[in-house]
Amino acid sequence: MKSFNNAIDRRTFLRQSISASLAAAVVAGKPGLLLAQDQACIPQDMPRTLVNVMLQGGADFRYLFMPSPGHPDTEYLSLLWSARRSLYSEAYANYEQMFDNEYLLTADPLSGQEFGIHSRAAWLHSQFNDGRLAIVANAYCGRNRRHDQSILNADAGEPDYAALNFDRDGWGGRLVEQLGGTVNTVELGNSVTTFNKGTVQGNRLARVLHAQDMRSLALPEAEAGAPASRRSILARALRAYYEARGPEVSVDKPGSWPYHTFFQHNTALRTFAAEVDAKLASCIPLPDELLKLQLSNPDFAQQARNLFDVCQVPSELSLGVVSMSYGGWDTHNNQAAEIGSNLADVFGRGGGLDTAMTAIETLPAAEQPASGQLVFYFASDFGRQLIANGAAGTDHGSGTYSMLLGHAVCGGVYGEMFPLHESRPDSEGRIPLQTPGADIEGLTSTDRILSEAVDWVGSELGAGVFPDSAQGGLEPGVSLASLFAG
């Protein structure tokens, strides 16, 4: 079993490193730092914020979590190893050797059950040990194995939704509508997904901010020192056109003229981006650890930078909910290599979330620290099948694990993490761990889980965002009422 006893030391080192780099920058007189006159940079009202992290492709969380070699049911362990051993190196002589090399041992504080979290997800392991990670076993966000439909189910927060209709609302969009006022969803990835969309048909993006790069929200401007560059010429032409034509079209064109929208967006975007840019300029610059962050997926590294900046300007963004994403989880073959780099990027020590949260913990705060106001929810299209395929991968399944992570979360395992019925004959005499195509049995619907998370954001909001959640599935003997401390 690998040991990472220096996890706390490393996080302490990163925090000290970030703080030291900021202090050095103050001495050097760099602009945009939190000097005495920059107190306006301190967020006055960082709200409770859910961060939806969509892992597109169907993540195999049974690979992320595996039972300890000390699991009391040796028959279950033997069948599980036989079903999935091709996912690991042929050099491993037995399950114990594999586990000791691939997994970090931990124990559920609620039941005492020992299990392993993959060593490429060492930051996630530390969060579980700190009591900040809740794992809901045997969850499901849909009842099918299709990427398109299952992603839609996850974004909509409706496991039983059967229509393949992307012109509809998502649970993030419904949440900001329930919060009211001018609250927005903030998308940090490459594209605005159904998750962000509101309920008003024809105007579903009214409450969405696409912050693909928080340091480059504005429309292009001329390049300093390069007045004749293509960018400079086009930027000047764009600005000149809208400034000259705007007053004319507002008078000459009827209110129903459809192209008024372009002029309105030009004005709104320039005004909004200028406010955000001005606030960020008075705040802490991106720490070197984030600026130099190198991941297998560069887009997720940028999302981590964006998340840091979001926490500096929540008021300017009218922050309500955040959307992040990471693709590439469809591991039909060579799973160890493919999912390993994914796990390291998202959940690993020095990965995107570890680096972002270490930096966010250094941010000044008037009352509640920004790091304490974030709760991450990790979603995926579906789970993977129990038995590995012939290409050292796993095929589409349905049941999975759901995860909530944050200071407000009551960590532990909710549900039977490794159900013994997987190693027992079913009503037709088939043993799931010996039956190709068998799934983790989905028992707890994700809308039940998310309704609890939304209630943490705002009391009694869950029923408005997930009106059918009370009828959703729930594993027998499991209560989700204690997922949050309050």
Domain map (residue ranges) of the chain = 7-18+43-215+286-471, 218-284
Q: Give the number of other CB atoms < 10 A from CB of residue 314.
A: 19
- Least confident range from 41-50, 54-63, 172-181, 283-292: namely 41-50
Q: What integer pLDDT is reported at residue 22 of this predicted model?
A: 47
Distance CA 259, CA 264 (A): 9
Which token pair is 233? Answer: 């010429």
Mean of all residue pLDDT scores within the chain: 91
Q: Are 468 and 447 in contact (CB under 8 A)?
A: yes
Q: Dihedrals φ, ψ of 376, to 5°?
A: -95, 135
Query: Average of pLDDT values for 342-356?
Result: 98
C-alpha to C-alpha distance for 184 and 175, rounded to whole angstroms? 9
Give the model's pLDDT for residue 108.
97
Percent of the chain with pLDDT over 70: 91
Average pLDDT over residues 363-377: 90
Structural tokens at position 221? 């401007």
Residue 27 has pLDDT above 50, yes or no: no
Q: What is the pTM of this model?
A: 0.90
Over residues 96-144, the pLDDT tens digits come to 999 999 999 999 998 999 999 999 999 999 999 999 999 999 999 998 9
Find the mean pLDDT for residues 377-389: 97
Q: What is the DSSP letter of 99?
A: H
Confidence label for 25 from pLDDT (cuts 50, 70 and 90): very low
Kindly report, residue by residue over 393-422, the tens digit of the pLDDT: 999 999 999 999 999 999 999 999 999 999
Among 3.40.630, 3.30.70, 3.40.720, 2.60.120, name the CATH number for the domain at 7-18+43-215+286-471.
3.40.720
Q: Average pLDDT for residues 182-200, to the nearest whole number?
A: 97
pLDDT in tens, 432-475: 999 999 999 999 999 999 999 999 999 999 999 999 999 999 99
